[in-house]
Amino acid sequence: MAQMWITMGPQHPMTHGLWTLRVKVDGETVVDAKAELGYIHRGVEKISESRDFLQITPYCDRLCYVSAMTWANSYIYAAEDLLEVQVPERAEYIRLISAECQRIASHLMWLGAYGPDVGNLTIMTWALRDRELFLDLLQELGGSRMHYNYPRIGGVKRDIPIGFADRLKAKVQMFEHRIKEYEMLLDESTIFLVRLQGVGYTKAEEMVDAGVTGPNLRAAGVNYDVRWAHPYSVYDEVDWEPAVEKPTSIKGADCYDRYRARMFEMRQSCRMILDAIDKIPGGANNHYANDDEMIIAKAPTRAPEGATGFSNYECTRGSSQFYIKGGGEGRGKKPYRLSIRSPMFITIPYIADTMIGYKIADIPAIMGSFDPCIGETDR
Amino acid sequence: MEDVIQIRTWLTTLIGDGLESATADTSLAPHAGDITFFLVTLLSCVMAFALIMLSMFMILWLERKILGRLMDRRGAMTSLRSLWVGENGVTAGEWWKKIPFGLGTPVGAIVAWLNKTAGNRDPKNPTVDRVNNRSWYGLAIFPGFFQNIADGLKFMTKEHMVPSRADKFIFELAPFLVISSTVLILGMIPLSSQIYGANPELSVLFAFAIFGIAPLGVFFAGWASNNKYTLIGGIRSAAQLTAYEIPMLITILGVCVLAGSFNFLEIVHFQHSSGSWFLFLMPLGAVLFLIAMIAEVERIPFDMPEAEAELVEGWWTEYGGMRWGLLFAAEYMRTYAACILFAIFFMGGWHAPFAGLIGRTPYIGGAYLLIPGIVWTLLKAWLIFSFVFVWARAALPRIRTDQILEFGWRMLLPLAFIQLVLVIIYRLYLFDAGSVHDTIEGGWAWNLYGIPFGLPILITVLSCVLFYWLLNDEDPVDTKERMFHVRTLEPAGKHVAGTD
Amino acid sequence: MPAHPRAKPNFRNLFWYPFKMTMITALRTFPIIGKRFTWGYHNKLHPEVVDDDSKVRAKNGRWNDVSKHEYTADREGSDLVPTIWRPQTILYPYERLEDMEPWLFVPGNYNGRIGVIWETCTACKLCVTVCPNDCLHMTTELRVDVLDDASGEWEGLGAELEVGRPAAVEIAGVSAVGDGFDLVTAHEAPPEQWRFGEVLDLSGDSARIRWNDSGEEQMVATDILRPADDQIVSGRIDIGRCMFCGLCMEACNFTSFFMTNEYDGMSGFTREDLWFDASRTRVLPGVHQEAVDAELAKRANKERTKREKKAAKAAKAVEGSA
């Protein structure tokens, strides 16, 4: 049969976001692939040039909406670098807990979407339901389930509510039981393995050259986790380890390895949360007022011209970096330039190359295993 | 053994006598018999189709409820409840006010009364907004049964679109082929010894010949829609359906060889009169039949042609409105037909299990034997549907097309041949034709060296042993660590940033 | 971490394990046998989840008494026949999540609908400045000031009727909560309480009013007339633009700006429907009343002290000149 270009267009149930993937197929085999992005570009970087530093935080939630807390935190670290603010330790612990809850919620969303991609509808209901546990926790912290606007320059918006610690521990322990059940359903299912193993090989060196980070890279055996290599916040005080998965094949990491990396990462996040809530300074059952210095430090609102701030943060999908230049409008109240490095923006062209040589039916398996989120890609 | 309710005989007698007396002195007298046959066939067709279509709602309901439990969600549906229990008199629109001539007022009064007595508005903790009140915390009635009717109405009212550059004639023809072949089969499948649409002598052959038209319709649909997705879906589907026709037909051939006839009624009678259901005589064939049928009706795990992850809806993407509704219904009709066929081929159709044994018990026995055959057939079909089709859908992911084809050609086909050979051996050498009895008790044609029903027992036991052995074949705890595994040995806190 | 130890394609994994897992899932959903298959998630009670605060807050409805609940992750733990009686999801709109899990909707912690008590607003415009999306607009409105309508201990401390200024007459039969109009559950704004007009002539105990709605003039007795103010601060919030970030609530120093617990009822058919004016940013009547009373007391006291000071000054002036 002749070769033809198929457009898995912006409106498609599978593409995990709003982008176009054009694949050239020869029969059922993919011979070429091109990604077209930009459908959800909202101009966050430009908008930020006319917003105060406080006002930019809600926009950063909306970059990757599935993983909002990590993106807000990522921006806040850059702004704190710019404005030279020291964050109290309790606030750092709270940020860690919220970021790890968000990481688990994001990975569960990935799992819930990945299951139907390969045909298993059951895991979708399970994963989304357990995601509710964490979304409820984040709702208690931040006030809504998706766009929390929770971290502030110098700390966090409010302290953890009374009773939150008990709920957190109960829910995380409940969830650890559930991870076992996911593995029973998926890892012990031949069809799932047959769909995922041997598909979508990615070599570690190629990924490092392309700039891929996050669980995709760790699945290939490269032990690079920003929280481990360049620890920020209190990640070097809690007990955890990066989820590195060394693949068996010299061809690289297949989809199964990436799946295992994320499952293990969820387990590590649970471990981190339980450790952090025990170690939090000031006690987990105390509630400080909104302006208390335990949870927020006073921060300047202006950044002089020439000041820069940078943060390298481990988002759920890779390492996200913010670069802020001060001295913008309002005599420095607004940034002159805010630049966002999104991990998925770097990875998606790489994904398109990964698909060459496999069948059309492998496209959702490969695509889903990289966990694309187009919100952060297009900003 | 004949069914308790002898509908067809009764109809024939009724209409025959009536027509005879009506046409006694007219010129139609010599044709009375033919007219009787025509009318009886017409009525029994209507009856058979109506029974199958109406009982199909049960299938849809079963699927949704069981799938819900398997996927860890359950609970009462409240579709009808929202009509008459609302918040302070305001439901999703005060629909009773729209009924003309004020006939809806009593409904409004009932709703108001219900809310007043059993509503749980607490004035101490109100909230201020528009649609907000706690309401009656009550039972749900008719849990989910009318969803399918609502779906059907929805399909009927949606727009019919034809893509502009589609091949119009073939585009319109394709659903027609799929639906008509499906419905034709439903006419051939007997629900009991008296309820069927038509019963030619080689009904099995005829039914499966019609069953095989569907791939053609699918391929037409995929091609004619002028859409790359549907083209791929149609090709995949045609390949898959063709690939699984063969093991299915060979299995059915085995069934027919075992029964000695190509007629549905004969096959069912034979299972009873020879003493054993074919499920126990050819379990391998039963499993093959089920797998082949799941592939034929394109359900998960074989639903790659309509895999929504890649192909949106596959070969029926471009169809809207009732055409899509009919194709969707056709999939469920084929599933239902597959379940009923399984009940007919392998589970003794409309015969009660252990009819002789239970029939002899003093009081219950008589009642047991009076249960109409159609009830048994439908119960068995529903059982198979719930425990095979729905369970497989919940538990398994989708298999890729080339893996499906490989599985069909390389694994199912040889197994089907093996089963055929075994069946031929049983029939030729292990069958005692003299012990076939058409009584309530059935016969004992499969004795083995004097053990009554020895052959089915032996085969069942051997199959269970084989299954058990296959399950435990591999070492259960084979944790070969993957090569070059990296594990960080230091706990956190001792790690220096920047080093590995 | 190595791959899952049983992750190998084989016969057992093809047929047995996936079917077994889903069967266990299905069996767990039934009330009695479900308890046998629980590994810590389903059908397991977690009483520590419901904290004391939540128990107090939720102790009202006889059907939804959370203090009697025992929390389970699947919301199934506390009922006798859970499969029939209580489904797993919250049956909105018959049940509401804030009744079942009140810790999720602690007032002040939840980013719900904006609620503004305009009587206490000082128009400092901090909220307008901080909104990232530019969705707040301050305007003025023609209303009767709370002090002018006061009765009891605060009567007489308000403004006086003046010629050329607006005035209002209370519309008979309407009051804020009464006549079957329930502020809590109403779908529209409450009916207008006042009829406004302009004072043309003031003499003795009657005044000539030109009504705003019809333009005609009428003589009205002074004692039913109240002075109105057309510079009362009011505002509009564009809910269509609002992203519910909560920065405005943080910015307001005068606790007039809230984000309530409400998440529904904010829909409309046109964009203009989403401009929420004073009536649609109303808060709970209890909360509102408290705040208004506090503000009323504050203003009354201020006015009282002002008058006392003026009287004292006038007395001193009289004394001084005398």
Query: What would the pLDDT profile of B223-271 be if each residue is shown by its tens digit?
Result: 887 777 778 778 888 888 888 999 999 999 999 998 888 999 889 888 8
Examine the pLDDT at C201 and tell me if it is beyond 80. no
Nearest partner of C292 among C104, C41, C121, C110, judged by Cα: C121
Cα–Cα distance for residue pair C129/B440, rounded to 1 Å? 90
When divided into structural domains, chain A yields a total of 1
Contacts of B130 in chain C (CB under 8 A): 186-187, 264-267
Contacts of C98 in chain B (CB under 8 A): 127
Examine the pLDDT at B416 and tell me if it is beyond 90. yes
Confidence band of C5 (pLDDT split at 50, 70, 90) = low
Q: Do A12 and B488 touch (CB under 8 A)?
A: no
Alpha carbon distances (Å) from A283 to A98, A164, A193, A294: 16, 12, 45, 11
Question: Side chain identity at B339, as an amino acid letter?
Answer: C
Range of the domain at B110: 81-139
Asked, for residue A334, whether it belongs to a domain, the answer is no
Q: Do C5 and B479 touch (CB under 8 A)?
A: yes
B216 and B279 belong to one structural domain? yes
- Neighbouring CB atoms inside 10 A of C214's CB total 10
C294 close to C287: Cβ distance less than 8 angstroms? no
Q: How far apart are the first and last CA of chain C?
A: 99
Q: Do A189 and B397 touch (CB under 8 A)?
A: yes
B268 and B127 belong to one structural domain? no
Q: How far apart are the first and last CA of chain B?
A: 79
- B69 inside 8 A of chain C by CB: yes
B117 and B255 belong to one structural domain? no
B341 and B388 belong to one structural domain? yes
C123: left (phi over 0), alpha (psi -120 to 50) or beta: left
C101 and C235 belong to one structural domain? no
- How confident is the model over B366-393, as pLDDT tens digits? 788 888 888 889 999 999 999 999 988 8
Q: Tokens 């000539």 belong to which residue?
A: C208
Nearest partner of C93 among C28, C185, C220, judged by Cα: C185
Q: Do B472 and C266 touch (CB under 8 A)?
A: no
The CATH number linked to A264 is 1.10.645.10
Asked, for residue C150, whether it belongs to a domain, the answer is yes
Alpha carbon distances (Å) from B329 to A296, B276, C1, C157: 61, 34, 47, 76
Asked, for residue B417, whether it belongs to a domain, the answer is yes
Q: Which of residues 379-408 of B touch C (CB under 8 A)?
A: 391-392, 394-396
Higher pLDDT, C39 or A313: A313
Confidence band of B137 (pLDDT split at 50, 70, 90) = very low
- C37 inside 8 A of chain A by CB: no
C21 close to B500: Cβ distance less than 8 angstroms? no
C174 and C72 belong to one structural domain? no
DSSP class per residue in B246-310: HHHHHHHHHHHHHHT-S-HHHHHHHHHHHSS-HHHH-HHHHHHHHHHHHHHTT-TTS-GGG-HHH
Asked, for residue C9, whether it belongs to a domain, the answer is no
> In the structure encoding, which two tokens stand for residue A14, read together?
């599978």
Shortest Cα distance, chain C CAs vs residue B210, angstroms:
31
On the 0-12 / 13-18 / 19+ scale of CB atoms within 10 A, B457 is: middle
* pLDDT of B124: 40
- C23 inside 8 A of chain B by CB: yes
Q: How many residues does chain B have?
A: 500
C28 and C128 belong to one structural domain? no
Question: Which strands form A20-26's sheet, in the order they lie side by side?
Answer: A3-8, A20-26, A29-36
Contacts of B301 in chain A (CB under 8 A): 119, 191
Cα–Cα distance for residue pair B452/B357, rounded to 1 Å? 14
Confidence band of B114 (pLDDT split at 50, 70, 90) = low
Q: What is the DSSP letter of A11?
A: S
C277 close to A174: Cβ distance less than 8 angstroms? no
Asked, for residue C320, whether it belongs to a domain, the answer is no
C30 close to C83: Cβ distance less than 8 angstroms? yes
- B481 inside 8 A of chain C by CB: yes
Confidence band of C47 (pLDDT split at 50, 70, 90) = low
B194 and B240 belong to one structural domain? yes
When divided into structural domains, chain C yields a total of 2
Q: Is the omega angle on the peptide bond into residue B452 within 30 degrees of 0, that is, cis? A: no
Domain finish residue from C105, C123, C138: C105
C77 close to C44: Cβ distance less than 8 angstroms? yes
C38 and C150 belong to one structural domain? no
Asked, for residue C82, whether it belongs to a domain, the answer is yes
Q: Do B398 and A115 touch (CB under 8 A)?
A: no
Contacts of A173 in chain C (CB under 8 A): 40
* pLDDT of B313: 64
Asked, for residue B368, whether it belongs to a domain, the answer is yes
B380 and B444 belong to one structural domain? yes
B170 and B122 belong to one structural domain? no
* pLDDT of B308: 52
**Nearest by CB: B497 against A6, A223, A230:** A230
Contacts of B300 in chain A (CB under 8 A): 119, 121
B261 close to B427: Cβ distance less than 8 angstroms? no
Q: What is the DSSP letter of B411?
A: I
Range of the domain at C245: 114-305
Nearest partner of A263 among A371, A129, A116, A125, judged by Cα: A371
A218 close to A244: Cβ distance less than 8 angstroms? yes
* pLDDT of B41: 87
Q: Do C247 and A157 touch (CB under 8 A)?
A: no
**Nearest by CB: C54 against A147, A163, A189:** A163
**Nearest by CB: A122 against B229, B394, B400:** B394
The CATH number linked to C146 is 2.30.30.140
CA-based nearest residue in chain C for residue B396: C18
C230 and C287 belong to one structural domain? yes
When divided into structural domains, chain B yields a total of 2
Q: Do C2 and B73 touch (CB under 8 A)?
A: no
Q: Tokens 């970096």 belong to which residue?
A: A321
Contacts of A59 in chain C (CB under 8 A): 132
Cα–Cα distance for residue pair A320/B270, rounded to 1 Å? 71
Contacts of C48 in chain A (CB under 8 A): 166-167, 170
C95 and C118 belong to one structural domain? no
Examine the pLDDT at B192 and tell me if it is beyond 80. yes
Shortest Cα distance, chain C CAs vs residue A55, angstroms:
5
Range of the domain at A111: 3-40+86-304+345-378
**Nearest by CB: C13 against A54, A189, A256:** A189
- How confident is the model over B66-88, as pLDDT tens digits? 887 787 766 544 433 444 444 44
- B464 inside 8 A of chain C by CB: no
Asked, for residue A78, whether it belongs to a domain, the answer is no
Chain A interface, mutation test: which of B396, B411, B496, most A Cβ atoms within 10 Å? B396
Cα–Cα distance for residue pair C290/C294, rounded to 1 Å? 6
Asked, for residue A212, whether it belongs to a domain, the answer is yes
- C247 inside 8 A of chain A by CB: yes
Asked, for residue B213, whether it belongs to a domain, the answer is yes
Give ∠ CA C294-C298-C299 in degrees, rounded to 5. 120
Asked, for residue C247, whether it belongs to a domain, the answer is yes
Contacts of A125 in chain B (CB under 8 A): 71-73
Examine the pLDDT at C60 and tell me if it is beyond 60. no
C147 and C130 belong to one structural domain? yes
Q: Do C12 and B473 touch (CB under 8 A)?
A: yes
Asked, for residue B226, whether it belongs to a domain, the answer is yes
CB pairs under 8 A between B and C: 139
* pLDDT of B76: 47
B103 and B160 belong to one structural domain? no
B181 and B307 belong to one structural domain? yes
Q: What is the DSSP letter of B481?
A: P
B117 and B250 belong to one structural domain? no
Asked, for residue C80, whether it belongs to a domain, the answer is yes
